């Protein structure tokens, strides 16, 4: 029996409803799958951004970059040849002065080398070649003898006293001791390398134990200088501070760098917390601290009302990192803030061409633009919201340099000073005792301060060791007052 028209329509409607339900279920499953894939893409994009951190978008040092990013290609320019470029001034080494010459040797012809004719004195200046040479044995060995004398009354031998510098120096004089310190501290040379240099070049055999003793003497000679600079830190009006990791016999330590206007001091400590700042600068530090946004500096600022200039270079790197995170709103937010920061730095770079009043007005306007860009409509991205919260809480600490003469908007001074320490750590693998820590603190301080002042580190080491051997006051690293 065939179904009626009504039955056929009911059956057809049931089939269509079943198809619709199947399609709805399929659409719901696809939407769920799409949401899961979108979440996975966002998670992987954020993970790629974290793994892609380098020195340009984070606080990581340049030495940690596995592959250096290629510099942008110069538009409108072809590939330049290696060497001096057309139009650039030539740079020649200044010749040695007459007082620096040990000998002058003259060469003159009797006959013309071309025709054999007789020669007369020429009017042109002589052709001069100044040559520096290392002597076969560039050391002097002196034997100091204290002759024995017999005392009939005391019934014993007595000896004439040797000069204090000879007694204290022992095998190596002050110049050679300073040279060992220079090779070890400035050149990052190991004791084995120094031994080979002494054996092959100076023709002297010296043990590792003797080299360790020499380094100990230099450490002692720099103690007064280091303590003097350490005592001056709390009274500085401006300080840039940074810290980096340090290994001592496999244990994690931290090297702190304090850079003042005239000197740089390094301090090795087992802590990376604010207690190091309290111990070094005190609870009543009245200067301005240039630093990054690390929590130890924020705690020191909060508890003791210390004025801080947070590093704008670190901020720019953080904004660049946020720009690489997923989400159009996040990227637009970061790009807007980065444009405001770039505009501020364009004003900073034109400071010399502007009057003080005009510069301050331009900087105040740029400051307002940066703060507005950071606070206006932050996206739901965690990093962006944290950055906006930071500006609400500590925004003024990024612009202290506008009203503080001589204060830098970045912490580049401390970061540049600490770069030498990072290189030394990679080569020497750290220290193995407290004695090694004291040596590193003092030699790094001497080297960085001499570099900062344009002085010779070797000359200062020689003066310090010589004064130590003669029981005289250690020379200061600071220039004499007016």
pLDDT of 81 reads: 78
- CA dist., res. 24 & res. 27, Å (int): 5
Distance between CA atoms of residues 459 and 179, nearest Å? 10
**What pLDDT, on a 0 to 100 scale, did the predictor assign at position 272?**
95
The range of the structural domain enclosing residue 374 comes to: 312-406
Is pLDDT above 50 for 482? no
Rounded CA-CA distance 73/76 in Å is 9
Give Rg (Cα) of the chain: 35
Computed over every residue of the chain, the mean pLDDT equals 89
CB 218 within 8 A of CB 178: yes
Strands 238-248 vs 251-259: parallel, antiparallel or unpaired = antiparallel
Note whether 226 and 185 are within 8 A (CB): no
Residue 299 lies in a domain: no
Is 349 within the bounds of a domain?
yes
Two structure tokens written together for 108: 């003159």
Q: Is residue 352 situated within a structural domain?
A: yes
Residue 313 has pLDDT above 70, yes or no: yes
Cβ neighbours of residue 222 under 8 Å, at least 6 residues apart? 442, 443, 445, 446, 464, 474
pLDDT given for residue 7 in this prediction: 77
Structure tokens given for 376: 């206006």
The answer to the question of residue 417 being in a domain is no
The string of pLDDT tens digits covering residues 219-245 is: 999 999 999 999 999 999 999 999 999
Minimum mean pLDDT range among 10-14, 195-199, 335-339? 10-14
Q: Give the distance from CA 410 to its chain's centroid.
A: 13
- How many domains, the chain? 1
DSSP state of 198: I
At 65 the pLDDT is 52
Is residue 304 domain-resident? no
Say if 348 falls within a structural domain.
yes
Q: Which residues contact 354 (CB under 8 A, 6 or more apart)?
A: 347, 362
Is 370 a member of any domain?
A: yes
- Residue among 459, 423, 421 nearest 442 (CA): 421
pLDDT of residue 70: 59
Q: Would you say residue 92 has pLDDT above 70?
A: yes
| pLDDT for 39 | 83
What is the pLDDT at residue 299?
Answer: 96
Please check whether residue 357 lies inside any domain of the structure.
yes
pLDDT tens digit sequence for 428-455: 889 999 999 999 999 999 999 999 999 9
Write the pLDDT tens digit of every residue in 139-164: 889 999 998 899 888 889 999 889 98
pLDDT of residue 71: 59
Rama region for 129: left / alpha / beta (φ>0; ψ in -120 to 50; rest): beta
Query: What DSSP character marks residue 108?
Result: -
Burial label for 133, CB within 10 Å (0-12, 13-18, 19+), is exposed
Q: Is the pLDDT of residue 402 over 70?
A: yes
């Amino acid at each position: 029996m065939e179904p009626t028209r009504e039955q056929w329509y009911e059956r057809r409607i049931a089939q269509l409803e079943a198809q619709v339900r199947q399609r709805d279920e399929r659409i719901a499953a696809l939407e769920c799958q799409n949401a899961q894939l979108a979440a996975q893409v966002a998670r992987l994009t954020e993970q790629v951004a974290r793994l892609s951190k380098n020195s340009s978008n984070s606080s990581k040092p340049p030495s940690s970059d596995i592959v250096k990013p290629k510099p942008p290609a110069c538009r409108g320019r072809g590939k330049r040849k290696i060497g001096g470029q057309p139009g650039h001034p030539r740079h020649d080494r200044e010749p040695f002065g007459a007082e620096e010459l040990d000998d002058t040797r003259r060469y003159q012809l009797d006959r013309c080398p071309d025709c054999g004719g007789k020669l007369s004195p020429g009017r042109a200046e002589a052709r001069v070649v100044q040559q520096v040479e290392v002597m076969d044995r560039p050391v002097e060995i002196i034997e100091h003898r204290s002759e024995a004398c017999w005392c009939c009354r005391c019934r014993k031998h007595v000896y004439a006293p040797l000069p204090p510098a000879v007694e204290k120096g022992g095998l190596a004089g002050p110049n050679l001791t300073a040279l060992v310190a220079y090779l070890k501290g400035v050149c990052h040379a190991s004791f084995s390398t120094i031994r080979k240099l002494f054996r092959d070049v100076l023709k002297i055999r010296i043990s590792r134990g003797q080299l360790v003793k020499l380094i100990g003497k230099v450490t002692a000679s720099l103690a007064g200088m280091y303590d003097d600079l350490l005592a001056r830190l709390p009274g500085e009006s401006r300080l840039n501070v940074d810290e980096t990791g340090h290994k001592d016999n496999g244990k994690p330590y931290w090297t702190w760098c304090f850079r003042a206007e005239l000197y740089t001091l390094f301090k090795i400590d087992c802590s990376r917390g604010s207690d190091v700042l309290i111990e070094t600068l005190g609870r009543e530090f009245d200067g301005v601290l240039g630093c990054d946004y690390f929590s130890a500096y924020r705690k020191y600022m909060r508890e003791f009302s210390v004025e801080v200039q947070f590093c704008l270079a670190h901020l720019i790197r953080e904004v660049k990192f946020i720009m690489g995170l997923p989400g159009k709103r996040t990227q637009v937010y970061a790009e807007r803030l980065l444009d405001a920061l770039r505009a501020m730095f364009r004003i900073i770079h034109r400071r010399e061409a502007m009057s003080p009043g005009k510069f301050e007005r331009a900087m105040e306007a740029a400051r307002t633009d940066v703060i507005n860009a950071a606070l206006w409509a932050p996206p739901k991205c965690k990093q962006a919201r944290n950055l906006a919260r930071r500006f609400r809480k500590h925004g003024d600490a990024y612009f202290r340099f506008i009203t503080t003469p001589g204060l830098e908007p970045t912490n580049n001074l401390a970061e540049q000073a600490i770069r030498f320490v990072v290189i030394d750590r990679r080569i020497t693998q750290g220290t193995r005792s407290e004695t090694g820590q004291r040596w590193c603190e003092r030699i790094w301080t001497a080297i960085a301060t001499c570099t900062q002042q344009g002085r010779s580190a070797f000359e200062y080491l020689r003066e310090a060791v010589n004064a130590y051997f003669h029981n005289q006051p250690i020379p200061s690293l600071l220039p004499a007052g007016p």
